[in-house]
Structure 1
């Protein structure tokens, strides 16, 4: 929904302040990863995403009874699919969220899902995974 609004209403590179000095919307087309790493190397992202989706699906299937782990894996899957669809359709992802109080990559909802999902999985593995502790 935010992405559709940004694409329809902001020119590439245009910025609209949401909360002054905190967050803005900036419309960019990113052919790379965070900070434009591997810019233009779409085939790398296709391969990595397909492998990641298979691994996450297998881990999710075996995650019954571990709510935080399952939520984390679901967010990772959702974020990977979101960016994958953009890359297949457009050869780039649309990024829009710009943190104004620090120098940070402009990102999208899929990136946020991936980040939060990884954090949830790491928290589960560190604090709640009994098999890892045994």
Structure 2
């Protein structure tokens, strides 16, 4: 891995930790913090599963699975680090987010989620965190890299 990848991974982990510490200290056990009425708020949630709450209370399985995926991505990134900057950025973001949620899962036995998007009381998107954003954006960028590379 190069410097760019390490910077992205470290900054992503720091941003995730800082925001989760904020959530733990200022949102846990308190009323939701409304940012934009009927659309965006901070709402503390302890997610004991994976994305969208699947695999509830499977801490050991999720921890091992995440460690394997992180190791595979780091190995792939190391072997292909010079092939594409987009590949490096996308995998670094996914690794950073995976490490952020892995830390929570190991340390707390749950993942701290606190970002809630919704439309009034009609639709609620599942509560998420900065690590989740990193994983999703990194995955989208990886998809763009794959599509671009196929042509």
Runs in 1 of length 4+ with deviation above 4 angstroms? Answer: none
TM-score of the superposed pair, with normalisation by structure 1: 0.89
TM-score of the superposed pair, with normalisation by structure 2: 0.80
Q: How far apart are 1:39 and its partner, in Å?
A: 0.6
2:4 match: none
Aligned pair count reads 130
Given that 1:76 and 1:117 are in contact with CA atoms closer than 8 Å, whether structure 2 keeps it comes out as yes
**Per-residue Cα deviation, 1:45-104 (whole angstroms, up to 9, x for no partner):** 112111111111122111314111111000000001001111111100100000022421
Equivalences for residues 78-97 of structure 1 within 5 A: 78-97=96-115
2:3 match: none
Q: Which residue of 26, 42, 49 corresponds with 1:32?
A: 49
Given that 1:72 and 1:116 are in contact with CA atoms closer than 8 Å, whether structure 2 keeps it comes out as yes
Select the structure with the greater relative contact order (CA < 8 A; seq sep ≥ 6): 2
Which ranges of structure 1 fall in alignment gaps of 5 or more residues? none
Aligned counterparts of 1:84 and 1:116: Cα–Cα separation in 2: 18
Q: Which residue of 77, 82, 90 corresponds with 2:95?
A: 77
Equivalences for residues 47-62 of structure 1 within 5 A: 47-61=64-78, 62=80
Which ranges of structure 2 fall in alignment gaps of 5 or more residues? 1-17
1:14 match: 31
